[in-house]
Amino acid sequence: MAGDSKKVQPIIIKRVKKGGHAVHGGAWKIAYAVHGGAWKIAYADFVTAMMAFFLLMWLLGSTTEGDRKGIADYFSNPVKISMMGGSGAGDATSIIQGGGNSLTETSGQQNKGRSETVDEKLRQKALKAEQMRAEQARLNALKAKVQEVIANDNRLSKYQSQLRLDLTAEGLRIQIVDDQNRPMFASGSESVEGYMRDVLRAIGFVLADVPNRLTIEGHTDAKPFVGGEAGYSNWELSADRANASRRELITGGLKGDRVLRVQGLAASMLFDAQNPESPLNRRISIIVMNREAEERFYEAARTASGTPTSAEDETEATPDGSIPSGAGAPNR
Least confident of 30-39, 225-234, 259-268, 314-323: 314-323
Q: Higher model confidence: residue 25 or residue 49?
A: 49
Strand partners, 289: 171
Q: Higher model confidence: residue 319 or residue 127?
A: 127
Least confident of 5-14, 57-66, 104-113: 104-113
pTM passes above 0.75: no
Residue 137 predicted with pLDDT over 60: yes
Residue 142 predicted with pLDDT over 70: yes
pLDDT (mean) for 26-39: 56
pLDDT (mean) for 169-188: 87
CATH 3.40.50.510 fits 123-313, yes or no: no
Give the model's confidence band at 248: pLDDT under 50 very low, under 70 low, under 90 confident, else very high: very high
Tell me what pLDDT residue 235 has: 93
Tell me what pLDDT residue 176 has: 92
Q: What are the boundaries of each domain within the chain?
A: 38-92, 123-313
Residue 195 predicted with pLDDT over 50: yes
Give the model's confidence band at 145: pLDDT under 50 very low, under 70 low, under 90 confident, else very high: confident
pLDDT (mean) for 57-77: 77
Residue 3 predicted with pLDDT over 70: no
Tell me what pLDDT residue 28 has: 46
* 79-83, 89-93, 143-147, 317-321: range with highest mean pLDDT: 143-147
Give the model's confidence band at 329: pLDDT under 50 very low, under 70 low, under 90 confident, else very high: very low
The answer to whether 272 touches 280, Cβ cutoff 8 Å, is: yes
For the chain, percent of residues with pLDDT exceeding 70: 69
User: Mind listing the pLDDT tens digit for each residue in 264-322?
Assistant: 999 999 998 999 988 889 999 999 998 888 889 989 888 887 765 543 444 444 444 44
User: Mind listing the pLDDT tens digit for each residue in 21-31?
Assistant: 544 555 444 44
Identity of the amino acid at 317: A
Between CA 242 and CA 151, with CA 322 as vertex, the angle to 5 degrees is: 55
